[in-house]
Amino acid sequence: MKSRTPKVLHTLCGRTLLGHAIAAADELDPSRLVVVVGHGRELVSAEVAAATPQALVVCQDQQLGTGHAVRMVSEAIGVVPGTVVVTYGDMPLLRGQTLRELVDIHHRAGNAVTVLTARGDSAGYGRIVRDSGGAFLRIVEERDATPQERAIDEYNSGCYAFDGALLADAIKRVTTDNQQQQEYLTDVVGILHGDGHQVGTMLAADAGEISGVNDRVQLAQARRALNDRILDGWMRAGVTITDPASTWIDVTVTIGQDAEIGPQTQLQGSTAVAEGATIGPGCLLEDTSVGADAVVLHAVCRHAEIGPRATVGPFAYLRPGASIAEDAHIGTYVELKKAVIGPGAKVPHLSYVGDATVGAGANIGAGTIFANYDGVAKHHTTVGEHAFIGSNTVLAAPVTIGDGAYTAAGSAITDDVPAGDLGIARGRQHNSDRWVARNRAQTRSADAARRDRSDDPV
């Protein structure tokens, strides 16, 4: 990956590569989940602990092959009764459903091991070698394969379902007699086959599921494939996605029926969009809830709450702690931070509202600033129900504007305004008569003024 970040911690569609692998494995409801870590073990172990606290982490001090990794687990926890499923942390497209089918086939056939295989471009993968009747013979790694074996199009995914007791015995007998001098897990399959145990295979319905990620090009390809799968699922569930090519939705997002997602929209994290809501075009929502029939246009919303039928944007920025009640309106070039906007309230234009509570039906005039920071600490502002804040007002927190109160446009309000009062905090206007004629006599402004006042008595 050419990165400071361990490969399995690179992200796509809301989870790390490892997170996707764990999620697929969790769908089997395993009695025990073990993650083998090597490179970047501190960071990877922390991710495992955060994603799945019940998982056991086993360290592979030396990366001596897939068989060696499994042997480390066997030595750490002993013989595992029942079925052991082995999968990989860099296969984010593998579905839990596919692993379930692998286990079901393994159980029904009574196999010692069942290998998940695929057909297609087999470059880089171990080939499945069969006899003339189609029965499994062995797996041969590409580096050790003959030209004839390399021409085989059925290949090994690296995922297996094993009989736990047989695996524990066979893993001890794996050697490093190969070009890479590593312990191949594929050799366990050969050992079990040689011992006369039954080896079976399951052909993956979608070869793309077992595609590994080894560089950033493959990461981008996997991200696109997974996003397409997510979008397909939501559209089939009753969500309109206007332009799938420009829409990105994380696996952790939820969307209600009849919602509409416009072009150039990204829904990330725990974002939840209720039925009938319209999001986009041009939106980024992260960990944000959107109520039924709300409309969000050209907005960035992070850790925010948007109520039913509320409207946001275009070009609004909702920062963490922004909470907008039903039927409220947040308009163009408005920024909210830790602000609770009451039902039906309006902040239509060019305003900053931080550390504030705005009551139901209140109107915040264009250009209003909630001055919440005094250089040392943040302070709160309260605007009462149906209050009217005049355009270009500065509310210097802490301050309270009472229910039904007004502030005059252009005021800098530093004291509370009681309910129903008008707060005025600005200098009285004075017009200096004929100032331009006296001070800018040779300018175009003076010429224009003379024309306009040509009939005025001197």
Q: Give 169's Cβ-side CA count (13 Å radius).
A: 9
Beta carbons of 159 and 190 less than 8 angstroms apart: no
Residue 396: strand pairing partners:
371
The tokens describing 130, both together, are 């069969």
How are beta strands 136-140 and 127-130 bridged, if at all?
Answer: antiparallel
Q: Which of 134, 144, 110 is nearest to 203 (CA)?
A: 134
Query: Which pair of structure tokens corresponds to residue 390?
Result: 């005049």
Please choose, from the candidates 83, 84, 73, the residue with its C-alpha nearest in 3D space to the C-alpha of residue 36. 73
Give the pairing type, strands 154-163 and 83-86. antiparallel
Q: Tell me whether the omega of the peptide bond preceding residue 314 falls within 30 degrees of 0, making it cis.
A: yes
Residue 139 · residue 154 · CB < 8 Å:
no
Nearest to 225 by CA among 403, 12, 455, 375: 12
Helix (H, G, I), strand (E, B) or coil at 284: strand
Catalytic residue among 193, 197, 303, 349: 349
Cis link prior to 244 (omega < 30° from 0)?
A: no
Among residues 359, 366, 310, 357, the alpha carbon closest in space to that of 336 is found at: 357
Q: Is 452 exposed, middle or buried (0-12, 13-18, 19+ CB in 10 A)?
A: exposed
349 is annotated as an active-site residue:
yes
Indicate which residues carry an active-site annotation: 349
